[in-house]
């Protein structure tokens, strides 16, 4: 399939052609990605000529020495085929912000290991995610080498610096609540009188589900008889920044979680309340596809930013230091460890694909516990 898109650059209209050309003599799939045509007819002619050249075995997709930016555009068409929209969006942001402004117009034959090393050192000095920037930058070079645009592997002579040890700030941002803080927060939300958010935040804190997983829940995913909920989907953002519904990223994220009786009761109460609210606006909440958390005026999904906004509002009223929404998942994990739940059970419940992620939280909790033990002992002895 071929697409012709119109775009404007320097107040001038141009056409951009992208699409599938076919397979070359070596069995490799070839795509076309070319900008700068003044008319659509020129773009169509270029595509036809390129397809004919590929059939004859004479097709050269780019100049003998293209720029990094030109190869990036070609690589991007292949990259899109293998990843989710949310991954594409994140990758484009990294390239557009940190890589293309530096390398887009640089000819490939000018990119040597010294140039790469200087830029990597610069990223290392300024950004904690320097390894990610370098990894993405290198993927385009590897593609260029495989396609024959680059005759060497300059990245092989590059040394990746180790992460700098950063001194902690005088104030460490909280990333979870203690048992007492969580109880205080949930009681405050409940007193606010909004059953939707009372249910939402209790669900996060008592099941450890991710924000996007909670927002993607339908009532059909909750088994009130067996006291379970099943994670089948998640809400995230696509390439254009719009919210999309997709399946969980890993196999371990697709899981069934046991819910405690009180949280089940809270969910049942919200289900009845939601049905009344939606009925008042002309919506039938008895549909099996009904989402658990929606805006009752429109029955549309909540915005991904909405929970964080509510946390700030409630914490301001409660005079409580706010945590990120993901912090409720961390809170759940921490309290599971404090309750003596085995590490592997915690990993399975939270859907961690790597047990090291679970272990990192466990280490944090045990260190906190040790510090508290010393303080409690000193306070008790008191001499």
pLDDT in tens, 123-182: 988 888 889 999 999 999 998 888 778 888 999 999 999 876 544 433 435 688 989 999
With tokens 């008895």, the residue in question is 286
C-beta of residue 311 within 8 angstroms of C-beta of residue 322: yes
Q: So what's the pLDDT on residue 168?
A: 43
Q: For 40-63, what is the mean pLDDT?
A: 74
Residue 343 reports pLDDT greater than 90: no
Q: Which has more confidence, 184 or 366? A: 184
Task: State what percent of residues in the chain have pLDDT above 90.
Answer: 35
Distance CA 257, CA 329 (A): 14
Report how far apart, in Å, the C-alpha atoms of 217 and of each of 247, 275, 310 are: 12, 16, 19
Q: Which residue has the higher pLDDT, 4 or 383?
A: 4
367 phi and psi angles, rounded to 5 deg: -65, -45
pLDDT (average), residues 109-113: 91
The single-letter DSSP state of residue 218 is B
Average pLDDT of the chain, as a whole number: 83
* pLDDT of 109 over the 50 cut: yes
Q: Does 99 have pLDDT greater than 50? A: yes
DSSP state of 99: I
16: which strand partners? 5
Is residue 19's pLDDT more than 90?
Answer: no
Q: Is 208 helix (H, G, I), strand (E, B) or coil?
A: coil
- pLDDT of 138 reads 95
How confident is the model over 254-293, as pLDDT tens digits? 889 899 999 999 999 999 999 998 988 888 878 878 999 9
Supply the pLDDT for residue 367: 56
Which of 203, 262, 265 lies closest to 229, judged by CA? 203
- Evaluate if residue 211 carries a pLDDT over 50: yes
**Is pLDDT above 70 for 214?**
yes
pLDDT of residue 104 exceeding 70, the answer is yes
* pTM confidence score: 0.58
User: Tens digit of pLDDT for each residue in 288-327?
Assistant: 789 999 988 889 999 999 999 999 999 998 999 999 999 9
Task: Give the pLDDT confidence score for residue 172 in this predicted structure.
Answer: 38
The reported pLDDT for the residue numbered 169 is: 39
Give, for 267, the enclosing helix (H) or strand (E): helix 261-280
User: What pLDDT score was predicted for residue 362?
Assistant: 56
| Selected residue with higher pLDDT from 27 and 152 | 152
CA-CA distance, 269 to 275, in Å (whole number)?
10
Give the pLDDT of residue 271: 95
Residue 167 vs residues 121, 128, 173, 176: alpha-carbon distances, Å: 20, 13, 14, 21
pLDDT at 263: 94
pLDDT of residue 237: 81
Q: Which CATH superfamily is domain 179-358 in?
A: Intergrase catalytic core (1.10.443.10)
What residue segments make up the domains of the chain, in order of their start?
1-61, 85-166, 179-358
Cα–Cα distance between 283 and 278 in angstroms, integer? 5
Query: Does position 381 have pLDDT exceeding 60, yes or no?
Result: no
Non-local (6+) Cβ contacts of 196 within 8 A are 270, 273, 274, 293, 296
Q: How confident is the model at residue 34 (pLDDT cuts 50, 70, 90)?
A: confident
The pLDDT assigned to 133 comes to 92
| CATH number for the domain running over 1-61 | 3.30.160
């Amino acid at each position: 399939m071929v697409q012709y898109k119109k775009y404007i650059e320097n107040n001038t209209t141009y056409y951009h052609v992208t699409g599938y050309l076919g397979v070359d003599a070596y069995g490799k799939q070839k795509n076309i990605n070319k900008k700068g045509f003044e008319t659509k007819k020129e773009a169509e002619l270029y595509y036809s000529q390129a397809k004919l050249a590929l059939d004859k075995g004479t097709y050269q997709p780019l100049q003998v020495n293209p720029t990094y930016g030109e190869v990036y555009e070609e690589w991007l068409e292949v990259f899109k085929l293998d990843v989710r929209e949310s991954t594409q969006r994140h990758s484009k942001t990294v390239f557009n912000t940190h890589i293309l402004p530096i390398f887009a117009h640089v000819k490939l034959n000018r990119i040597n290991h010294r140039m790469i090393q200087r830029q990597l050192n610069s990223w290392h000095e300024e950004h904690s995610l320097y390894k990610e920037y370098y990894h993405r930058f290198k993927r385009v070079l590897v593609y260029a080498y495989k396609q024959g645009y680059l005759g060497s592997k300059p990245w092989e002579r590059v040394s990746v610096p180790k992460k700098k040890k950063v001194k902690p700030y005088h104030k460490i941002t909280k990333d979870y609540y203690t048992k007492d803080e969580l109880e205080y927060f949930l009681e405050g939300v409940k007193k606010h009188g909004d059953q939707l958010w009372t249910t939402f935040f209790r669900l996060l804190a008592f099941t450890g589900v991710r924000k996007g997983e909670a927002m993607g829940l339908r009532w059909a995913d909750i088994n009130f008889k067996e006291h379970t909920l099943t994670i089948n989907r998640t809400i995230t953002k696509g390439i254009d920044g719009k919210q999309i519904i997709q399946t969980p990223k890993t196999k371990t994220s697709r899981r069934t979680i046991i819910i405690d009786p009180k949280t089940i009761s809270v969910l049942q109460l919200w289900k009845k309340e939601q049905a009344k609210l939606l009925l008042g606006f002309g919506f039938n909440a008895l549909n099996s596809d009904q989402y658990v958390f929606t805006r009752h005026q429109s029955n549309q999904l909540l915005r991904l930013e909405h929970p964080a906004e509510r946390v700030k509002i409630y914490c301001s009223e409660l005079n409580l230091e706010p945590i990120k929404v993901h912090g409720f998942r961390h809170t759940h994990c921490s309290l599971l460890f404090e309750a003596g739940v085995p590490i592997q059970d915690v990993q399975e419940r939270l859907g961690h694909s790597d047990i090291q992620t679970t272990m990192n939280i466990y280490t944090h909790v045990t260190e906190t516990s040790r510090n508290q033990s010393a303080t409690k002992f000193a306070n008790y002895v008191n001499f």
